[in-house]
Amino acid sequence: MNTRASTAPRLSLWQVLAYGAPGLPLALMGIPLYVYLPPFYANELGLGLAAVGTALMLTRLWDVITDPVVGYLSDRIPGRHRRKWLMGAGMPLLIVSLWFLLRPDDDVGLWHLYLWGLAAFLGWTLIQLPYTSLGAEADPTPHGRTRLAAGREGLALVGTVLAAALPILLGSEAPADVLTAVFWLMAILLPAGFFVMAASTPEPAIHRPLVDWRHGWPLLKHNRRLRGLLGGYFLNNLANGIPAALFLMFVADRLGAQNWLGWLLLLYFGAGIAALPAWTAIARRIGKRRAWGASILLAAISFSFAPWLGSGDVAWFALICAVSGLSLGADMALPASIQADIAGIDSDEGGGDRAGLFFGLLGLATKLALAVAVGVGFGLLSLAGFEAGDSDTTALAVTYGALPVVFKLAAAWLVFRQLTDTESHLRGTTP
């Protein structure tokens, strides 16, 4: 029996929402950095698309090193509020880096993009990893972790929707205008969200003994739950990343509906927000693993119709966006909650305090999946001889719609067959 879990008070709805507050501004970076930043530097600043793509890829490759290191350090820092102190240290680094990255002078070079991009992603990691680790500790019960993850990811979805809607709200699709708006929103909302979270979210003062990393990695290697989670998470994110990378081309070249881009994105992420409370309730009823697996299958089934769509089929594609978007809430909330449970189980079984390291591995799986998704998606289209604007979009339809279904089915198999329930182990700790 985990004494702390059995006596911990249930966090109020306000505390859950306060914990999730930084998730909104952090999510604002996603769409603008991947959709608007590359063409802005490549075209408007004249640095070239290939060079800009290489520079941005290199900045993300550093995450392979920084994510596990930051996760490990967030476990090692002594004293109370260790997670919050690390987040506070990353916040000014991120904001200053975004000032130079998103609002550059006209004569900047490639090194400007690379170095400030590297600094911005490091600042983001210093915030994000301790932030998700805190969600595993603030409420030690399985359902409490799900509520915190849902609060964080629900507000992150709101931030993502806001980012997708910026061109509509600004009345301009110019990359410079969108990136400037992102900076000011980050500069205002991130400190505000951090202080609300820090003031309202409890961080336990007593931690379990830390485990030296040389003893930790062999234990991770033999952790079946962790292997099942990371495998399913990687494949599922790979399946999500391929259509994300090809979304603009599919809508413009396959459907001929470029004017609907913003609204389709809003529909997809809006469905994810609307479904998030339902997935939380379903997870409590049938278990997180089964709920997540069901959401993956739902997305696979709905997406299997995408390759058959053609020019003018906007309404049918909108339906696919809505149905597959329903699974987004589960994708964002449940794996993080399962990872928090696994960290708690590992700690109960003598693994020590390694929540930061565990969430570092989860973040690493995400970033590797997205990097592979871009390479696979664009690589296959290149091998097929497809270029943007081509009239024959068969290769685009298959790569965009069929390939993700294969990875989704593989992810569902891992979740149902290799990942074991976490609630059964922790049921005795639930108040």
Quick one: DSSP state of residue 140? -
pLDDT tens-digit profile of 230-243? 888 889 988 988 88
Are 50 and 229 in contact, with CB atoms under 8 Å apart? Answer: no
Q: Which residue has the higher pLDDT, 82 or 394?
A: 394
Q: How far apart are the first and last CA of the chain?
A: 11
Rg (CA), the chain: 21
User: Residue 161 and residue 81: Cα distance in Å, rounded?
Assistant: 31
Report pLDDT for 296. 94
Q: Which residue has the higher pLDDT, 221 or 284?
A: 284
Q: Which residue has the higher pLDDT, 115 or 75?
A: 115
Are 193 and 27 in contact, with CB atoms under 8 Å apart? Answer: no
Distance (Å) of CA 238 to CA 1, 41, 108, 331, 369? 38, 26, 33, 12, 5
Domain boundaries, the chain: 11-207, 213-423
pLDDT tens-digit profile of 319-338? 999 999 999 888 877 887 78
DSSP 339-365: HHHHHHHHIIIII-S-HHHHHHHHHHH
CATH of 11-207, one of 2.30.30.40, 2.40.50.140, 1.20.1250.20, 1.10.540.10: 1.20.1250.20
The count of C-alpha atoms lying within 13 angstroms of the C-alpha of 2, restricted to the half-sphere facing its C-beta, is 24
pLDDT band at 391 (very low <50, low <70, confident <90, very high): confident
**Lookup: tokens for 143:** 């359902």
On whether the pTM is more than 0.95, the answer is: no
User: Residue 316 and residue 312: Cα distance in Å, rounded?
Assistant: 9
Instruction: Share the mean pLDDT of the chain.
Output: 78
User: Residue 178 and residue 28: Cα distance in Å, rounded?
Assistant: 11
Residue that the structure tokens 């590797």 belong to: 368
pLDDT band at 47 (very low <50, low <70, confident <90, very high): confident
pLDDT tens-digit profile of 263-316? 888 888 888 888 888 888 888 888 888 898 999 999 999 999 999 998 889 999
User: Residue 99 and residue 92: Cα distance in Å, rounded?
Assistant: 11
Report pLDDT for 6. 45
Query: Is it the case that residue 431 has pLDDT exceeding 90?
Result: no
Report pLDDT for 91. 92
Q: Which residue has the higher pLDDT, 215 or 422?
A: 422
**Lookup: tokens for 191:** 């400190």
**Average confidence (pLDDT) over 179-184:** 91
User: Residue 152 and residue 133: Cα distance in Å, rounded?
Assistant: 12
CATH of 213-423, one of 1.20.1250.20, 3.40.50.620, 3.40.640.10, 1.10.10.10: 1.20.1250.20
Residue 164 neighbours by CB under 8 Å, 6+ apart: 31, 262, 265, 266, 269
pLDDT tens-digit profile of 17-26? 888 889 899 9
Residue 194 is which amino acid?
F
CB burial of 93-108 (b: ≥16 within 10 Å; e: otherwise) equals bbbebbebbbebeeee
Residue 72 neighbours by CB under 8 Å, 6+ apart: 213, 356, 357, 360
Are 386 and 395 in contact, with CB atoms under 8 Å apart? Answer: yes
Query: What percent of the chain is modeled with pLDDT above 70?
Result: 77
User: Residue 305 and residue 314: Cα distance in Å, rounded?
Assistant: 13
Phi-psi region of 311 (alpha: psi -120 to 50; beta: other; left: phi over 0): beta
Report pLDDT for 318. 94
Q: How many CB atoms lie within 10 A of CB 286?
A: 12
pLDDT tens-digit profile of 195-206? 988 887 777 655
Q: Which residue has the higher pLDDT, 416 or 40?
A: 416
Query: Is it the case that residue 52 has pLDDT exceeding 90?
Result: no
Report pLDDT for 428. 45
Query: What percent of the chain is modeled with pLDDT above 90?
Result: 18
Report pLDDT for 308. 93
Report pLDDT for 93. 94
Helices (H), 9-138: 13-20, 23-27, 30-31, 37-39, 49-61, 63-76, 82-102, 110-137
Distance (Å) of CA 254 to CA 155, 250, 251, 402? 32, 5, 6, 14
Query: Is it the case that residue 210 has pLDDT exceeding 60?
Result: no
User: Residue 139 and residue 134: Cα distance in Å, rounded?
Assistant: 9
Domains 11-207 and 213-423 agree in fold:
yes
Residue 50 neighbours by CB under 8 Å, 6+ apart: none
